[in-house]
Amino acid sequence: MPKSLPPLTWFRAFDAAARHLSFTAAADELGFTQSAISQHVRALEERLGAPLFIRDKRALILTEAGRGLVPDVAAAMAQLAAATERFVPSQRVPKLTIATSASVSQWVLAPGLRHFHTAHPDIALQLVSTIWPDDFSATRADIDIRFGAQAVVGRNATLIEPSHLCAVVAPERAQTWEAAMSLPMIQPVGLSTGWRDIGAAMGHKDWPMPMIEVDTHGLAVDLAVAGAGVALTHSLIAHHALSDGRLLNLDLPDTRAVEGYYLACNATDLPTSQQVFVDWFNAWVAR
C-alpha cells in the first residue's frame, strides 16, 4: 500500500518558497508566518527523506532534489488552480434585459448601440424580441418597449415622442406624391389610421388600396428601402432610414399615431443601469 500524500499545505509552502527563494516572501504570499512556512517545508523534507533547500544566511538555495521537485509541484499547483477556477463565478458587468419588437431592435436600437456602449462600456444588454403582449410578462425584462394603444400597454408605460405616421419611399423610386401614387402602397396591419384615411384627409376620393400588407413596421420600412413601394409606417421606425437618406418623407396631413411605442421600466436589481439606458434611449430617439 502506498503511503498517504503529504498535506497540500506543505507543497504550497515549498512551491512559494522555491519561486521566491525566501521563506519570508512565501509567507507574505500565502498569508502565513515565516516560521509556519519553514516548518511546513521541514516537514515535507522529513516525509520525502531529502533536503530541498540549503539554508544560507542571505537566501535559500534549492538542492538537486529540490530542483527536481519544482516542475512537478508547480504543474500540480497550476492544475489545481485551473480546476478551482471553473467553480468560481466570473465577474460580470451588469446586464440589462430589453424586451421589444424586432422593428425597434433593428431600426432604433441597432443604429445607436455603438454609441451606447462607447459611453457605457460597463453595461451589457440582452435584447429579447417580442410579438404578443404576453411575451413581455414571460421575459421579466428590466425595460419593455411596447407598441399599441395607451389602453393596452400598461399604466407604467410612457409614450415615446414624437409619435406620428409618415409616408416613406426610396428616393430613386419617387420624389413627389404624383410619382409615388403609381407605386404599390405598403401598410402594417392593425393600424387605426390606414391609407384610406390618409387619402380622405388629403382630399383623394379614389385613393388606391394597400397592395402589400405586413405584420411589422420594420418590415414596411425594409420594403420601402428596397424600393417595393410607398410605406405608411411609424416615425420612430422610419427615422434612421430617413436621416441617412435611404428613404424620403412624403408630406402628410397631421397624422398623430393612435398606436405608438411606449417605454416601461420594471422592478429591477439594476436601477442605476436601467436609468442610464432610459436616459440614453430618450436622448437617442429625440436627436
Express as a percent the part of the chain with pLDDT over 90: 63
Q: What is the pLDDT of residues 186-214, one digit of tens each?
A: 999 888 888 888 888 888 777 778 899 99
Average pLDDT, the chain: 89
Whether 115 has a pLDDT exceeding 90, the answer reads yes
Ranges of each domain in the chain: 8-85, 95-159+260-285, 165-250
- Model confidence at 137, pLDDT cuts 50, 70, 90, reads low
249: phi > 0 → left, psi -120 to 50 → alpha, else beta; which? beta
Contact criterion met (CB below 8 Å) for 154 and 264: yes
Q: How many angstroms separate the CA atoms of 54 and 19, rounded?
A: 15
Alpha carbon 17 to its chain centroid, in Å, reads 45
Q: Which residue in 181, 187, 180, 95 sits closest to 141, CA to CA?
A: 95
Q: What is the pLDDT of residue 2?
A: 47
Fold exhibited by the domain 95-159+260-285: D-Maltodextrin-Binding Protein; domain 2 (3.40.190)
Question: Which 3 state secondary structure label does DSSP give 281?
Answer: helix
Q: How many angstroms separate the CA atoms of 65 and 50, rounded?
A: 7
Q: Which CATH number fits domain 8-85: 3.40.47.10, 3.10.20.30, 1.10.10.10, 3.40.640.10?
A: 1.10.10.10
Fold exhibited by the domain 165-250: D-Maltodextrin-Binding Protein; domain 2 (3.40.190)
